[in-house]
Structure 1
Amino acid sequence: MAQNCLKCLKYTMCAANFLCFMCGVVVLGFGVYMLVNFRLAALTPALANFNLSNMLLISGIVITCVSFLGFLGALKENRCLLLTFFLLLFFLMLIELTLACLLLVYEDKIGELMTKDLNNGLEKAKAKNSTRVISDWDLLQDNFQCCGVKNYTDWGDDVPSSCCSGPCGKKPIYNQKGCLEMLKNFFEENFLTTGISVIVLCIVEVLGMCFAMTLFCHISRSGLGYKL
């Protein structure tokens, strides 16, 4: 009976990790596609390299590598791979929880840094040294129906057409709300969804750790698999 349960655990772990591996490949492929076909997140100096495509690439690489270790370790009943899989999941969970705590504790400080960085990005766009920065501001202002950091006066006398709430004529009507306020509202509205996603991810990681350690202990007791 115990052997059947452990076999079931082994193949369940293989199937789950294979599914995660395929998801990681999809995320990685989508990140490559966005990197090649879209030019985003030059909005602020700090976000020039920390953009959505790079985040997807990093996430895809991490998911594929970790899930591959779990799949191979369970399939081959390799204690070394299972222990590595367990430790990687443990460190990833610690990183996620640490980041969540830092976001909660330093929420005001992060808001100040975001304001400063947006202002720096706006000054760069006003100088018109980079068409990429200008196009990203246009994209942000179109999607969030905002203008500037605090309001349209941030642009001075050269307000872009993306700030218009309607057709830009001789007397254009600009969006009154700044992009900083709209971004804060967006993050606050999605805070609950993000929190639930982090909790679900942590639960999945804890289950993966439990499965890996259970299989590891069984292999150690039975003398199967490769020795450490």
Structure 2
Amino acid sequence: MNRSCVNFCKATLVKLNFLCWLCGAFVVAFGEFQMIHSKFASLIPTFWPIYPANTLVVTGTIVTCVCYIGVLGGMRENRCMLISFFILMVILMLVELAMALVFLIYSREIDSYFEKDLKRSLEIYRQSAPGANQTIKDDFDAVQHLFRCCGVHGEADWKKNVPISCCTRDPCNTPFHSNWKEGCVDKLKNWFASNYLSTGAGVVTMFIIQFICLSITIPVFCHFKRRGLGYQ
């Protein structure tokens, strides 16, 4: 491989890794934004480890760190950094594939756990004294107001103790007012599905960039090895 070809591969590797690093940084920032403004976390405790915001922050942080090693390795022509980047990137891609398979295989089980968590949160809301479990109450009220829904499957879930957040229009403090008829479980499932769909699209895009980076890393590393470069 001549020097001009090596320089082209090295420049491409650095630029792609830098692009991937920027994507990872953006993903972390977006995940933090969702964590600050989200109103659903307390209602679905089973899903806290795989909550969209958490998934974005963890994935983005790992991608940012790995791609930073790739950028430095390419710029300094350092074989140690390049081989470390290659190994870490392979592991990261395998983890991404494993997570995709888990979601694909257990999608139905996830739906059932989702409904159970929401029912449990509703019962806690119903049976809590005034001032108790305020986080769950605020989050459930925010969900019902935002998605224009009531209860898990409908207002009957509240057993004649329907909160004001189910009200369709003011005035809501009257004895007879209309409530949203549709339950929140389906709307929340669709919201989570759209979030994971957009997250999945971003992960697929990064996966393609990562694969291209790996493909370029191999010839660049082999060239440095033949020339005895890369340990300075």
Following superposition, the deviation at residue 56 of structure 1 comes to: 4.1
Following superposition, the deviation at residue 32 of structure 1 comes to: 5.0
CA contact (8 A) 1:147 1:178 kept: yes
Q: How does 1:155-166 map to 2 (within 5 A)?
A: 155-166=158-169
Following the alignment from structure 1 to structure 2, what is the Cα–Cα distance between the partners of residues 105 and 30? 27
RMSD: 2.8
Following superposition, the deviation at residue 144 of structure 1 comes to: 1.9
**Which of 140, 146, 171 is equivalent to 1:143?**
146
Identify the residue that residue 66 of structure 2 maps to in structure 1: 66
Identify the residue that residue 231 of structure 2 maps to in structure 1: 226
Q: 1:150 to 1:104 in 2, by over 3 A?
A: same
Aligned length: 226
**Unaligned stretches of 5+ in structure 2?**
none
- Aligned-partner SS, 2:43: coil
- Over residues 146-192 of structure 1, what are the superposed CA-to-partner deviations in whole Å (9 max), with x where a residue is unaligned? 22111112222322222222222432222222111112334556776
Q: 1:186 to 1:44 in 2, by over 3 A?
A: closer
Following the alignment from structure 2 to structure 1, what is the Cα–Cα distance between the partners of residues 27 and 200? 21
CA contact (8 A) 2:52 2:195 kept: no
**Which of 207, 215, 224 is equivalent to 2:212?**
207
CA contact (8 A) 2:24 2:64 kept: yes
Q: 1:103 to 1:155 in 2, by over 3 A?
A: same
Letter in 2 for 1:133: I
Q: 1:38 to 1:108 in 2, by over 3 A?
A: closer
Following the alignment from structure 1 to structure 2, what is the Cα–Cα distance between the partners of residues 80 and 199? 28
Q: 1:19 to 1:190 in 2, by over 3 A?
A: closer
State the TM-score, normalizing by the size of structure 1: 0.83
Following the alignment from structure 1 to structure 2, what is the Cα–Cα distance between the partners of residues 146 and 208? 46
Q: 1:13 to 1:6 in 2, by over 3 A?
A: same
Identical aligned residues as a percent: 37
Q: 1:185 to 1:94 in 2, by over 3 A?
A: same
Following superposition, the deviation at residue 25 of structure 1 comes to: 3.6
- Over residues 123-149 of structure 1, what are the superposed CA-to-partner deviations in whole Å (9 max), with x where a residue is unaligned? 222234321111111222222222211
Identify the residue that residue 81 of structure 2 maps to in structure 1: 81
Q: 1:171 to 1:136 in 2, by over 3 A?
A: same
**Unaligned stretches of 5+ in structure 1?**
none
Following the alignment from structure 1 to structure 2, what is the Cα–Cα distance between the partners of residues 188 and 34? 15
Comparing 67-76 and 38-47, the one that deviates more: 38-47
CA contact (8 A) 2:167 2:180 kept: yes
- Over residues 88-125 of structure 1, what are the superposed CA-to-partner deviations in whole Å (9 max), with x where a residue is unaligned? 22222222222222222222211111111112222222
Where do 4+ consecutive residues of structure 1 move more than 4 Å? 29-35, 47-53, 187-196
CA contact (8 A) 2:155 2:181 kept: yes
Identify the residue that residue 120 of structure 1 maps to in structure 2: 120
Letter in 2 for 1:176: K
Identify the residue that residue 21 of structure 2 maps to in structure 1: 21
CA contact (8 A) 1:44 1:122 kept: no
